[in-house]
Amino acid sequence: MLAEFPLQQIIDEEGNIVNHSYKEQITKELALSLYRNMKRIRMFDRKAISLQRQGRLGTYPPFEGQEAAQVGSALALKDHDWLFPTYRDHGATLTFGIDMHRLFLYWQGRLEGLVPPDNKRIFPPAVPIATQIPHAAGAAWAEKKKNSSAAAIVYFGDGATSEGDFHEGLNFASVFQVPLVLFNQNNQIAISVPIEKQMNSKTIAQKGIAYEIPSVRIDGNDAFCVYFETKKALTAARQGNGPTLIEAVTWRYGAHTTADDPSRYRDQDKSREKPDPIERVEKCMKHAGYWDEHAITLMNKEIETEIETAVMKMEKAAPPSVDDLFDYTYHHLPDSLSRQKQQFKDFLRGVNYEHH
């Protein structure tokens, strides 16, 4: 199956164009947009890890190493499209337009962090593995029934392909030919389980065959390839040609989450030797004469300011409400939960009474 699904690439690890049919499309504007967004989400990611270590955020899942996969795919979307992320796709949601301070609030465990801008269709991050895939298929089906031009993209990792929701989502998407891009970030390890222990298949792309879904396997660290292949899949979806499965082969440099110790299951020194997707775009820009050191320095300072402003806004947010823990499951709160809610409020106010 490796021969049937070769790894597609537009630029190599040294930033050289290897697929010259895209040469004219690799414009300065596109290269700079990819580079800026990738640097922005990496700087966000590193800041989030630092905040977690200081106790200012909760457990956090880093994505460093996967910037090309997330930025390239999210930049291919149109404003009215749907984005269904996992818990590791905050780089994609940032690129698509979620407010940065809200994303910080989400990793504080705040309800406000789930609210996208009014003009963006961003589903709450899915922490249970693969549950977002049937949701995305359903949303795409609804857009098809409305005869809209909107499409959906759903992100998932290699581990998700072992879940029933993955197969149910693909089957539904195929049967109803919905406008959906199934975007797999194959970072080659599901928490601590390497892909060779996760599945016997040679590729994830080949899993689309059973459902008659067109599939492609791409270099997920080649931002240009990710962008153009995702755009191609979205165009097919809008034209009524149904779903596409994209396997983006990438790598996460760091831990599964900040509660994880990756050195227990892999060599971290070798992990860091993997080619950097941001450096690859930088090399490409230098080859093309697009690189401007002064402009890049200013860009980095702008991003730093944006991040620090978002942190301050997060920390100035009003304290969370106790009501948020109780009010969004039942239409009418049961008496037992109403009592618990009141007791919790009394506790926070310092009321001391015996619990019966």
Residue 269: pLDDT band (50, 70, 90) is confident
Share of the chain above pLDDT 70, in %: 98
Decide if 75 contacts 65 (C-beta within 8 A): no
102 is catalytic: no
Catalytic residue among 121, 256, 280, 290: 256
pLDDT at 353 over 60: no
Could you write out the DSSP letters of every residue in 136-155? Answer: HHHHHHHHHHTT-S--EEEE
- DSSP type of residue 249: E
Residue 356 has what pLDDT?
46
| Long-range contacts of 228-232, Cβ-Cβ distance < 8 Å, separation of 24 or more | 228/10, 228/22, 228/25, 228/76, 229/8, 230/72, 230/73, 230/76, 230/153, 230/181, 230/183, 231/76
Residue 2 is assigned to a structural domain of this protein: no
Same domain, 117 and 214: yes
Decide if 122 contacts 153 (C-beta within 8 A): no
Q: And the tokens for 308?
A: 């620090």
Residue 180 is assigned to a structural domain of this protein: yes
Instruction: Classify the C-alpha dihedral 273-34-181-163 as positive or negative.
Output: positive
Tell me how far CA of residue 162 lies from CA of 178, 195, 207, in angstroms.
22, 11, 11
| Burial per residue of 214-249, b for 16 or more beta-carbon CB atoms within 10 angstroms, e otherwise | ebbbbbbbbbbbbbbbbbebbebbbeeebbbbbbbb
The per-residue pLDDT for range 127-162, each reduced to its tens digit, is: 999 999 999 999 999 999 999 999 999 999 999 999
168 three-state secondary structure: helix
pLDDT at 355 over 80: no
256 is catalytic: yes
- The winner for highest mean pLDDT among 94-98, 260-264, 321-325 is 94-98
Residue 230 has what pLDDT?
98
Same domain, 183 and 303: yes
Same domain, 209 and 348: no
Provide mean pLDDT across the span 119-126: 96
Same domain, 289 and 325: no
Same domain, 330 and 209: no
Q: And the tokens for 97?
A: 């337009």
Same domain, 254 and 342: no
Residue 98 is assigned to a structural domain of this protein: yes
265 is catalytic: yes
Tell me how far CA of residue 210 lies from CA of 175, 213, 214, in angstroms.
12, 8, 10
Same domain, 256 and 138: yes
Q: And the tokens for 314?
A: 């997060």
Residue 321 has what pLDDT?
87
- Residues 75, 31: Cα–Cα separation, whole Å: 12
pLDDT at 351 over 90: no
Residue 1 is assigned to a structural domain of this protein: no
The per-residue pLDDT for range 282-304, each reduced to its tens digit, is: 999 999 999 999 999 999 999 99
Residue 274 has what pLDDT?
83
Q: And the tokens for 264?
A: 């227990």
Residue 354 has what pLDDT?
57
Same domain, 140 and 240: yes
Residue 270 has what pLDDT?
79
Residue 3 has what pLDDT?
79
Same domain, 246 and 179: yes
Residue 352 has what pLDDT?
63
Does this model's pTM top 0.85? My answer is: yes
Provide mean pLDDT across the span 183-187: 97
Provide mean pLDDT across the span 91-98: 98
Count how many domains the chain has: 2
Q: Which domain holds residue 345?
A: 321-356
Decide if 75 contacts 36 (C-beta within 8 A): no
The per-residue pLDDT for range 18-69, each reduced to its tens digit, is: 999 999 999 999 999 999 999 999 999 999 999 999 999 999 999 999 999 9
**Residue 78: Cβ-neighbour burial (10 angstroms; 0-12, 13-18, 19+):** exposed
Catalytic residue among 101, 135, 252, 280: 252
Provide mean pLDDT across the span 183-200: 92
Nearest to 103 by CA among 153, 40, 31, 39: 40
The per-residue pLDDT for range 198-248, each reduced to its tens digit, is: 899 999 999 999 999 999 999 999 999 999 999 999 999 999 999 999 999
Residue 160 has what pLDDT?
97
Average pLDDT, the chain: 95
Catalytic residue among 265, 266, 330, 339: 265
CB atoms within 10 A of CB 212: 12
- Residues 95, 22: Cα–Cα separation, whole Å: 23
Nearest to 221 by CA among 183, 254, 246, 250: 250
pLDDT at 262 over 70: yes
Same domain, 297 and 331: no
Edge to edge, the sheet with strand 152-157 lists: 7-8, 215-219, 244-249, 180-186, 152-157, 82-84, 121-122
